[in-house]
Structure 1
């Protein structure tokens, strides 16, 4: 890394004909959180979501295409990436992936086909053929967005005993018991959200027994209780992500929780803002301008003192200092990066 760099930020992007992006880029953050974006470090098509292995040696990306694929990259000492191999996701338009805490399995959500899939990870980060897949079914009241299942996220519980999948199309969160020896999932609970919510992403609190889910279609956030023993999810209070007087069109996108567990952040595309909540009592802190257009993804620095917003529509990334009250203050002008849609601080 450059001498003044404190950590790396990998940038996933859409790479279609209307974008100048051609793969995964690498940025370096200094002590204040200011980003310096460098060149593409991996040529790959539509790497719209990224995840890192627990040991930091392998980075995984989706190829969000009709015949979806997942790709494994070796992380070199200088931060550049070398492709190891790829595998089909047995679904269409994979939009999210995560790595099981054991480091032995990659979990992927296929948006258009509405299914989730598990790939074993071999020695050296090599992706093996998929060992298990589950097809969701159902629909919601929104005829344009919920005509069928649309798996939008799949994440392991903090201890890895369960896997949770948020499905925008069926207004449900599916909780699977996960076999860490075989990679197989067994459905334990199908948790219904209010019709038309469009569950998009969820994030666990560091205490492991609660979390937060954003509804893309209603621009809301719901706190839920989680039982680490039985995998039970109990939705609790739901709060709006937008000001009461906002009359335009906006879609909720990402949700993250600070490493110290004090704050919850969620992004709005359309209103182009970031809503902040105190985890203590689940109370609003404020709604802050995102400084970018279309903040599809937000991410926190490793220490949680800087928040980054990826502006898909403005080709920029904005860095914010996170105050002790949770308030967001822009650190500097946005950094340029074409069509950024996923940020992975390392």
Structure 2
């Protein structure tokens, strides 16, 4: 029995070595990766997200180009693909796209400081329809952080819907988490209120990058100071931030690029740098992540883990600089009585892909 992963890969347009969107076979019983079924040309898809269910399921892609774009694809398990739509993202070099719980609104985060809001037409098949709005941070928000080479100005790096009425934008350049309200028109989400309903300042020089909502909490990687930030959620608002180290070890942490939920009670934080690793965190009773163990990626030849997809106990790491999609099977997540810790890698497989950026399961 097998299924398929879709993997975005940087192309020559942004200095990458990939071909676009690759479809990769995966054995659902063992988690092992098979061969590449097909590669569909698409310029530098930096992030992928799925939306919908069954025959209406689609994949939205952010294209990290000087004139950014968002596209919608119909991908299938046999390797086929059809691009349904492509629209502008409202700014340059979008690196992330988030989808509203209804599937009818996309939020694209761009390196140039803009946040694009794209309306999705829901019938007969969901597809990116039109650029509905562009939001650019203004003072007093949007003040650059202290890390001069990375925080020269606003740099939205990701967004996450806190619920159907609120979305948070993580701005690496300004050390801010900005919560925007979703504006509903005719019973459907139409756009965002451009004025944030809440702005939470993260520690100076933290550089919030990737946001994850899980179990009533927000977790955000601090790319520039090697931390993981956590806040409780209530009625679309963030509580006080708590900071924990990204890595379990005492050495300097490489830049954390991704936080992913794995199993029922754990998080995985991917760190880059000279000694890339996956740090497995347990979530304590008060919701604070606690790093348990660092799993080095060097033995697998994986560098620059840009994105991690978790499917059960199986992790799929997009190792951008080593042209590798790496699969790791974890044990020790305390999912049952025979799975006692500590967390550890018990099996792995890999497939070669040029400059992989993000993976989703079809």
Q: Mark yes or no: TM-score above 0.5.
A: yes
Q: Is the 8 A contact 1:276 1:326 kept in 2?
A: no
Give 1:242 deviation, angstroms: 6.2
Per the alignment, in what secondary structure is the counterpart of residue 154 of structure 1? strand
Aligned partner (choices 145, 155, 161) of residue 165 of structure 2: 161
* Runs (5+) with no aligned partner, structure 1: none
**In structure 1, what is the equivalent of residue 338 of structure 2?**
none
> Displaced runs of 4+ in structure 1, greater than 3 A?
17-20
The number of residues matched between the two structures is 332
Per the alignment, in what secondary structure is the counterpart of residue 169 of structure 1? coil
Distance in 2 between residues matched to 1:226 and 1:90, nearest whole Å = 29
Deviations 1:304-342 (A, max 9, x none): 210111111111122111223361315234321111111
Q: Is the 8 A contact 1:115 1:133 kept in 2?
A: yes
**In structure 1, what is the equivalent of residue 25 of structure 2?**
28
**In structure 2, what is the equivalent of residue 101 of structure 1?**
101
Per the alignment, in what secondary structure is the counterpart of residue 313 of structure 1? helix
Is 1:202 the counterpart of 2:211? The answer is: yes
| C-alpha RMSD of the superposition | 1.9
Deviations 1:42-89 (A, max 9, x none): 211000100111325211111101110111112346352201121011
Is 1:311 the counterpart of 2:323? The answer is: no
**In structure 2, what is the equivalent of residue 226 of structure 1?**
233
**In structure 2, what is the equivalent of residue 184 of structure 1?**
191
Distance in 1 between residues matched to 2:176 and 2:9, nearest whole Å = 27
Distance in 1 between residues matched to 2:254 and 2:221, nearest whole Å = 13
Structure 1 residues 230-249: aligned runs within 5 Å: 230-241=236-247, 243-246=249-252
Structure 1 length normalisation: TM-score? Answer: 0.90
Is 1:251 the counterpart of 2:233? The answer is: no
Change (3 A) 1:49 1:230: closer
Distance in 1 between residues matched to 2:34 and 2:239, nearest whole Å = 40
Give 1:182 deviation, angstroms: 4.4
Structure 2 length normalisation: TM-score? Answer: 0.87
